[in-house]
Structure 1
Amino acid sequence: MGQDVTGLHHVGHVVRDLDQAMERYRRLGFTVAAPAYPVLPVTPGGPAQPFGVANTHVYFPRGFVELVAVIDDADRLPGDARPIPLRVPDDKLPGLRAAVRATAANIVSFLRRFQGVHIMIVDTPDIDRVADRLTADGVGHGGVHDIQRPVETPTGTRMEPARYLEITDPRLPPGRVPEGRIGFAENTPAEAPRHRQQHADHPNGATGLVECVLCVADPALPEWERRYEAYFGPARPGRTARFDRAGVTVVTASALTDLLPGERPAVLPAFVAYAVAVRDLPIAEELLRDNGVPVVRTGPEDVFVPADAALGVAIIFRQER
């Protein structure tokens, strides 16, 4: 169980203001790619208009952090944002608009809970195997989706095939679980990392996404352990359950302050932190302090930026091992 999981694919940081989020991430020492947004006609043959959500990425050689915001006013899109036309046959247009609208509705509902990380997607080399395993274990999911996603390359933006699966909860709308949105994505094709290298050189020396932390109510920890073991394989138990193959940690509310002093979840359950590896932790810490970013040291190999200074999520910087 869980042998088909190979780490984190990405986390999604849902924000109210994409411009503000990009500026904040740059102060944190990350290189942020140019944002993009989909455009679709309202009716077949009509003019294409911004629709749904805008996003940008902090890329690593493997994995990324997505910054995502709802398009509620086209005039508030970042000035360097790129439109991505979504082209479908006329008879498929209503269905696509409905799907994009549902995604945007989920993002709005996430923001009503709190601004921060609501999306965690895990990497797999064999998503069909994951789907079969989850089905056999009675885990609800929406099946494997084959999509085309925009990828920035040295010669421009191109559409690249991608495959993903989302865990479902029958009590909630599609694409939602109590903690937000979680799922699996099949490994990016081998050539894709070369295209992201231009954005993967970060002043803070970050080299990869290595952990995502979920905080839950103390009495609920056994239930969450059972659930996540079905998704990701066995955990190292305790007041923090660590699912090493996925890079996921589940911590009780009472133990959170031991892990991240001073942090409190906005609600429960909630993704409260994620961690990135850095080449040289003292250099990363010095950059953060020079940029006026508050930093808390938790050990010889870890520091973190509190959620209050990082738009609702604590960001851990960890010495690369």
Structure 2
Amino acid sequence: MGHDTARIHHVGHIVENMAQAISLYERLGFVVPPPSCPAMPRREGAPPEPFGAANTHADFASSFLELATWVKEGDAGSLPADAHLVPLEAPAEVLSLLVERIGKTSVNLAACLDRFQGVHILMFSSPVIDEVAGRLAAAGVRHGGVNTVRRAAPEGAKVPVETVRYLEIDGEGPDARPGTVAEGRVGFVADLDPDVQGARRLDHPNGAVGLVEAMVCVADPELAAVRRRYETYLGRPAQQEGPAHVFDLDGATLKLVPSSRLETALPGERPSALPALVGYTVAVRDLALTRDLLRRNGIPVRETPSGDMFVPADIALGTVVVFRPAT
């Protein structure tokens, strides 16, 4: 019997300064296009100014890395000069809904940054997202239902509009925010359209070809409960690999690591909070060439016990970035 979840769709790195983050990712060897951000006039007759959430992607064939930030009023300088501003123009009743939705996103981003700068978003890819929604509801997992958003497709795609369907899991307890669990925003997204994704820039100087692992660090006493939670989310059991619990996601993995063993898995690392998404792994064509690029760009690296190479969180704006040879 097949699973209704395959791969990791994307992780989201929430940053304080988008211009700084894009500069870092370019030094890491990723191609990152200018970010997009909604814009509105602050007063009648004034030019549109950015507000709310700005984001961009480093894209692969079936996954991507997202960079996102909260643009506070008067903080447009945190965006690169070539940021793409998207003026909000719609009938009054629709416009108010858009502004409300952007406001909620901004609140969530601000809460993430209050906790720590780093990865706060983990989304899994599904070919049958409506079935995922039904399975989760039957298992007692609260979520906001399947949402649909549309955006302009990249130049060269066969369709002018890209449709994105997703759901976010709601946390438990009276203080939980809708669409977030303890470690961040976790949910499911319908598989990327190969034609639309193929029109994006997928060739990265560091040789990265895909997102192959996300790591969640959990307080030791909570590990069993978090494992059960993800077994319910993903509809499959975890396998134990030493102290870690690992989910096989058809070419990618989710790894749950107890906090007492994080430094063994990632030498020198400490979690900023618990539970937390502490890092992600990308597969590269040639690890030696990637290492040389990072060295030339002044990026220090360490090595995991298994021989993977990683950039420490204090260099990579709060998240560990691991590079692994593609198989």
TM-score (structure 1 length as normaliser): 0.93
> What is the CA-CA distance between 1:261 and the residue it aligns to?
0.7
Q: Report matched runs for 1:12-27 at 5 Å.
A: 12-27=12-27
Distance 2:115 2:283 in 1: 28
CA change 1:150–1:255 in 2 (3 A) is farther
Q: Report matched runs for 1:31-46 at 5 Å.
A: 31-40=31-40
Residue identity in the other structure for 1:275: T
> What is the CA-CA distance between 1:93 and the residue it aligns to?
1.8
TM-score (structure 2 length as normaliser): 0.91
Answer with 295-304 or 279-288: which moved more.
295-304
Q: Report matched runs for 1:47-86 at 5 Å.
A: 48-72=48-72, 73-86=75-88
> What is the CA-CA distance between 1:98 and the residue it aligns to?
1.1
Distance 2:20 2:230 in 1: 33
Residue identity in the other structure for 2:189: A
* 1:214 corresponding residue in structure 2: 216
Distance 1:40 1:239 in 2: 50
The one of 255, 270, 284 equivalent to 2:276 is 270
> What is the CA-CA distance between 1:45 and the residue it aligns to?
11
Q: Report matched runs for 1:255-266 at 5 Å.
A: 255-266=261-272
Distance 1:83 1:40 in 2: 9
| Number of corresponding residues | 319
Distance 1:15 1:234 in 2: 33
Distance 1:121 1:53 in 2: 18
Distance 1:320 1:36 in 2: 31
Does structure 2 retain, via aligned residues, the 8 Å contact 1:281–1:301? no
* 1:236 corresponding residue in structure 2: 239
* 1:296 corresponding residue in structure 2: 302
Distance 1:158 1:83 in 2: 19
Identity between Structure 1 and Structure 2 (%)? 47
Whether 1:180 and 2:184 are equivalent positions in the alignment is yes
Does structure 1 retain, via aligned residues, the 8 Å contact 2:18–2:78? no
CA change 1:91–1:207 in 2 (3 A) is same
CA change 1:311–1:150 in 2 (3 A) is farther
Q: Secondary structure at the match of 2:182?
A: coil
Q: What is the root-mean-square deviation of aligned Cα atoms in Å?
A: 2.3
CA change 1:252–1:195 in 2 (3 A) is same
Does structure 2 retain, via aligned residues, the 8 Å contact 1:106–1:175? no
> What is the CA-CA distance between 1:99 and the residue it aligns to?
1.1
* 1:9 corresponding residue in structure 2: 9
Q: Secondary structure at the match of 1:69?
A: strand
* 1:28 corresponding residue in structure 2: 28
Residue identity in the other structure for 1:202: H
Does structure 2 retain, via aligned residues, the 8 Å contact 1:141–1:168? yes
* 2:91 corresponding residue in structure 1: 89
CA change 1:97–1:144 in 2 (3 A) is same
Unpaired runs of 5+ in structure 1? none
Q: Secondary structure at the match of 1:275?
A: strand
* 1:312 corresponding residue in structure 2: 318
> What is the CA-CA distance between 1:90 and the residue it aligns to?
1.9
Question: 1:233-286: per-residue Cα shift (whole Å, max 9, x none)?
Answer: 211125211111162111000111111111100110110010000001111111
Does structure 1 retain, via aligned residues, the 8 Å contact 2:5–2:126? yes
Distance 1:268 1:90 in 2: 42
> What is the CA-CA distance between 1:44 and the residue it aligns to?
11
Residue identity in the other structure for 1:85: P
Question: 1:207-237: per-residue Cα shift (whole Å, max 9, x none)?
Answer: 0000110001000001001000001121112
The one of 125, 128, 140 equivalent to 2:127 is 125
